[in-house]
A and B are shown apart, each in its own frame.
Chain A
Amino acid sequence: MTKQVVEVDRVVIRFAGDSGDGMQLTGDRFTSEAAWMGNDLLTLPNFPAEIRAPAGTLPGVSSFQLAFADHDITTPGDQPNVLVAMNPAALKANIDDLPRGSDLIVNTDEFTKRNLEKVHYTANPLEDNSLEAYRVHPIALTSMTVEALKEFDITKKEAERAKNMFALGMLLWLFHRPTEGTIEFLEKKFAKKPEIMKANIAAFQAGWSYGETTEEFSVQYEVKPAPMHAGTYRNITGNLALSYGLVAASQQSGLRLFLGSYPITPASDILHELSKHKRFGVMTFQAEDEIAGIGAALGASYGGSLGVTTTSGPGIALKSETIGLAVSLELPLIVVDVQRGGPSTGLPTKTEQSDLLQAMFGRNGESPVPIVAPQSPADCFDAALEAARIAVTYRTPVFLLSDGYLANGSEPWQLPEIEDLPTIDPAFATEPNHENDDGSTEFWAYQRDPQTLARPWAIPGTAGLEHRIGGLEKADGSGNISYDPENHDHMVRLRQAKVDAVADTIPDLEVDDPSGEARILMLGWGSTYGPIGAACQISRRAGIKVAQAHIRHLNPFPRNLGDVLKRYEKVVIAEMNLGQLNMLIRSKFLIDTYGYNQVRGLPFKSSELVDVITELTQQMEESK
């Protein structure tokens, strides 16, 4: 039976089910097939902090949203066009996000009285007409999967668990995707369990065939490849890109990569990933706590390695004192904060940008630390290299502020040529740098480079440069302990000046203002780049002139930031906190910015930002 193929430019699918239903895996596989077809895409995994909340309950719902398109997209979509709900809880938790007229695929087998009661449905929504606004496809996914696998030597439970592959096969058919990649994937994943492998492949193929033969779907959709720059691409998540960026920084600097870390959501995947790369000389150390993680990293840096520690907000709180020590020792150190909802334990699996001020100021004393924030999953690669460049060049700890959305979200990444990657020169000290009055020479550990103000990095094993450093204030130059009041004032200012000097080597802030006549500037940082960009594009199509700028270096700011801000009548700072960048900009530039802030644990929807732009434009028109 040949079905009609309808071409669409963009599709947003959300897979939702119980934590144990394999929704993340299903989403990942669909993503790979979309990427392989050359679509532009973005993903948004959303899962609970509990590993397995009670089955069938609202807290246990896990989802994976994926947008893929025939054009450049910057967000995983505000709302899905297709919702796959594996049980009543998944339906209840997600139905409010589904626009009327969208496709809703439900696993009818799970709509039992007991499961309905678990989420307080008094009537079965599949039967009470409450879903009549949607194109509902009621499909007995579980029982059809079990039926398809009855020939296999596996338990009923194992057969039921393959229902996500049945759903995946069906969806891949519906969106006209290839199947080879998934079959290959299953062959590898279950190589050691041949019967389970065969069963999963069979379930997957059964789902595909079901799509093809059933009357349930009258059309098949097709999304053509997106026009992209010529090159080789792969799909990549932020945590993976960040890990690769660190490996690349190690290779490009010739420094051994040493990661000291303590497991914490959503940063642990970086520890897992880096532990696989011993071929690159990478050493990973799972410490007894957050403090030991950064302590060991700093110790490794002292010894001439590229020390890195990875964590999330609560871990930063514990590491603060050691970051302060690194500021005082003036040693390279990369501190990765994959931000999550706070305060305290907060929302471990949800995204937020509320650690900016902690990164800026969360230490005792005047303790400046450069901050770099990536703006998309793939950008985590470049941002990690940039953080390493600053850390090594300026002998300073550097914050790399990622977040939960970047960490787990994915997008196509155009692979860089290795020759184009920046090289980083550790420039270890090898000789004495100070001449005494009597003509003898010695090593002064705090004799600075006049350009960068960085101190020399003399590592143990270097003869003649034996020296002692510590957290006590040091005399300018020699580095000996000094309690002198004037010296302390001077050293505090020197450390600040050194961090400020980083601005000499960072690019100017670029503004995207196609008309050149915008009066509103949408300003952001970090993972909000996509939604803000999408909102600007949508607004421009509606005739509104709006500019976008996104700050990558949050400390120090790019040199031209003040000039950029002055060019606009209204500056909107949109961030997933209560106005942290806003506070920094207001205090530094004394301008009346307008903050747009949400802390729902989810990325901005571009539509809400379009509303902000539209409203502000109207206000400006009216006040004319």
Chain B
Amino acid sequence: MTTNAFPALSLVPKTDVEMKAKDFKTDQEVRWCPGCGDYAILAAVQGFMPEMGLKRENIVFVSGIGCSSRFPYYMNTYGVHSIHGRAPAIATGLATTRPDLSVWVVTGDGDALSIGGNHLIHALRRNVNLKILLFNNRIYGLTKGQYSPTSEQGKVTKSTPQGSVDYAFNPVSVALGAEATFVARTIDSDRKHLTEVLRAAAAHEGSALVEIYQNCNIFNDGAWEPLKENDVREDNLIRLEHGTPIIFGNQQDKCVIRDIDGHLQVKDITEVDQSEIIIFDAHAKDPGLAFGLSRLYNPRTLTNTPIGIFRDVTHREAYDRMAQQQVADVIAAEGPGDLRTLLHGSDTWTVS
């Protein structure tokens, strides 16, 4: 693959050395629990990095706090392991001042949607050129097993012995609500799909939110099992592909249609006319269809769970590009500033 596939990275210096996954590994001992889904994601990201063809020193990973946020220590790039929830804010300052960098944020469901919810939605609303990887395991791992804002209602954990009463966030719905220009969902164990989504996210200019269903085998093992088990997986997953009818199921026997009052519905393919089946459009300016799809699943059983790219639009320019452009435009129009002129202002007097 050539680097032309990533127009969004046009300002980031390219390498002429052929890079391999191992070039992105550090000498640090990886400290996740054996069997953690994070290992698969790390391997997929390290495997994908060479494809971008960028100089390694121009890639930065920024994270918050939580198991997933240890990620930067294991990437042989520049990296910051920051504080809980603030990675999008820190990365915003970095990306805004350094258009020559490829900036990635690694976060979890607690980090991004609980303590850092505000920063996440504002980074997405501004469309800052960040690639945000949100590892969703529906649990707090590093603090040893409390429910998270994506835990299903009724979750019994150390902090909710009678079951949680909170309603959960759906990260894709949240991101679409903030009008994120790129929103996708993938699964830790599906290396191929995960890599495809990373590729599309990297190519996107502006914020990209990638929700990765990730298994915490210690505190919430099997949370995504209905989407992973061979015999039931395809019955539950709706694989979104731009420009194709939304048909899924083990036997390709289910489809998504819009009912009479405008809601999306899953139907048996034999019950509907072929023309009723929605052709998926990831590039629609209006996020309505993507939002509707994000609401289809049952958060408890995970039936009708769409994965893939929900939204990938280009009509909103990236925040950092516009901010840089404003500075460049002013300098082009008025010339660079002169400190002496600035300090003197318009109203001085002289004492001799």
B-binding residues in A (CB < 8 A): 32, 35-36, 38, 181, 225, 228-235, 244, 247-248, 251, 256, 258, 260, 277-283, 285, 287-289, 291-292, 295-305, 307, 321-322, 324-325, 329, 415-416, 418, 460-472, 480-481
Contacts and interface: CB of A to CB of B under 8 A. Distances in A.
A258 to B, nearest CB: 5
A471 B90 contact: no
Using C-beta atoms within 8 Å of the partner chain, give the interface range for chain B.
35 or more
B342 A285 contact: no
A302 B351 contact: no
Contacts of A299: 62, 80, 89-95, 97
A514 B269 CA distance: 98
Given A260-B89, A470-B81, A481-B28, 7 more contacts: A232-B349, A289-B118, A296-B90, A304-B97, A464-B57, A466-B78, A468-B26
Contacts of B242: none
18 contacts: A38-B351, A232-B348, A232-B350, A280-B337, A283-B96, A291-B89, A297-B93, A300-B94, A300-B97, A304-B98, A329-B80, A460-B57, A460-B58, A460-B60, A461-B101, A466-B77, A468-B28, A468-B75
B97 A303 contact: yes
B259 interface: no
A560 B72 CA distance: 45
A82 B86 CA distance: 53
A278 B330 contact: yes
B200 to A, nearest CB: 24
B348 A295 contact: no
Interface in B87-114: 89-98, 100-101
Interface in B51-67: 55-60, 62, 65
B145 interface: no
Contacts of B56: 463, 466
Contacts of A251: 339
Given A248-B339, A460-B98, A233 B348 contact: yes
B55 A469 contact: no
B82 interface: yes
Contacts of B245: none
Contacts of B327: 278, 281-283
Contact of B93 (A285, A321, A416, A471): A285
B336 interface: yes
Contacts, number: 202
A468 B79 contact: yes
A280 B336 contact: yes
B264 to A, nearest CB: 31
Contacts of A289: 118
Contacts of B62: 299
Nearest to A32: B347
B252 interface: no
A279 B89 CA distance: 25
A235 B347 contact: yes
A285 B90 CA distance: 12
Interface in B285-332: 323, 326-327, 330-331
A296 B89 contact: yes
Contacts of A260: 89, 93
A251 B331 CA distance: 15
A307 B94 CA distance: 10
Contacts of A292: 86, 89, 92, 118-119, 122
Contact of A415 (B77, B93, B100, B343): B343
A283 B97 contact: yes
Contacts of A321: 83, 86
A235 B347 CA distance: 8
Given A303-B101, A321-B83, A470-B73, A38 B93 contact: no
A326 B351 CA distance: 44
A260 B80 CA distance: 18
A294 B51 CA distance: 34
B57 A232 contact: no
A292 B98 CA distance: 18
Nearest to A185: B347
A280 B323 CA distance: 14
B351 A471 contact: no
A463 B75 CA distance: 15
Contacts of B262: none
Contacts of A291: 86, 89, 119
B93 A303 contact: yes
Interface in B25-71: 26, 28, 55-60, 62, 65
A202 B83 CA distance: 59
B82 A229 contact: no
B55 A463 contact: yes
Contact of A277 (B79, B342, B344): B342
Nearest to B57: A463
A203 to B, nearest CB: 22
B42 to A, nearest CB: 14
Nearest to A278: B330
A460 B12 CA distance: 12
A281 B345 CA distance: 18
B348 A307 contact: no
